[in-house]
Amino acid sequence: MSMEFRQLTTETARSVFIDRVEMARRVHGKDYQGNGRLRAANRSRLEASRLYGLFNCEAGLAGQMIAGIAMHDLECFPQSCREPDVSHLPPRLVVECSDHWSLSNGAGLLAWAGLAVPMRLLGIKAAIAYLAAGTNESDHAGFYTSMGFMSAGSIVAHPFVETASGGRQLVQPVVLQGAALDNVITAFAQACTSFSPDTQIFQLKHRVRPFVRHACTRPTSIDIPLQVVHQLPISATVPGA
């Protein structure tokens, strides 16, 4: 059996993705939300992003999406925060990965595996992300660390996210580049069995344990499920996380 990792190109599918980000935050008990004052800017960021959804079957309907992740290169839209400094690389070869969400156990990890082939095809040289810090500390920061993401700069306030009380959501900028990025892409890409000629649809294996183990640069306590279990909520992250 295979799962489908698909770039979302229709208005309906992209709307479902955005709704699921908020749903995942609520289910996982996160008390941060989109910054209403900067909603237009965040909408522009999402419009410039490639949104990807994970489905448990081929040609699944938008409502059957169980995980997702957004990615935009810095030529299409600037990075959300001033850190990290990636000015040594062409903006089109640096991506910001954001809005990583999952409503099924293990599906969030499969979404990262699905992203490996698009990143390879685009020739990406660095990936940046912003992990929730403070009281909303990211639940899966250990997984990002195990993949080789390194803290880059001090904790900053994310412009597009605020706490439930209206305060500024703090995030830790992290970056994955060089040999660590190559290692992750090479390992995760093995989970992809085929992809469409337009590189918008990717078929993934259900089992990702060996690929995650090979991708990780150091031991991690995360247990990778053998199969996706639908009813168990697992994670929701801020834009950039």
pLDDT digits (tens, 9 = 90+) for 62-87: 999 999 999 999 999 999 999 999 99
What mean pLDDT do residues 224-230 have?
A: 30
Which of these ranges, 51-55, 115-119, 167-171, has the smallest mean pLDDT?
167-171
Q: What pLDDT is attached to residue 211?
A: 55
Which of these ranges, 12-26, 193-207, 219-233, has the smallest mean pLDDT?
219-233
Pairing of strands 201-205, 192-195: antiparallel
Q: How confident is the model at residue 135 (pLDDT cuts 50, 70, 90)?
A: low
Q: What pLDDT is attached to residue 28?
A: 59
R_g over Cα of the chain: 16
Dig out the tokens for 111 from the structure. Answer: 């979404």
CA distance linking residue 200 with residue 83, whole number of Å: 30
CA angle 228, 30, 126 (to 5 degrees): 70
What mean pLDDT do residues 99-108 have?
A: 85
CA distance linking residue 23 with residue 238, whole number of Å: 12
* Whole-number average pLDDT of the chain: 81
What kind and span of H or E run contains 5?
strand 2-7
Q: What structural domains does the chain harbor?
A: 2-236 (3.40.630.30)
List the one residue out of 137, 128, 127, 129 whose CA is nearest residue 170. Answer: 137
b vs e for 12-22, b when ≥16 Cβ sit within 10 Å of the residue's Cβ? ebbebbbebbe
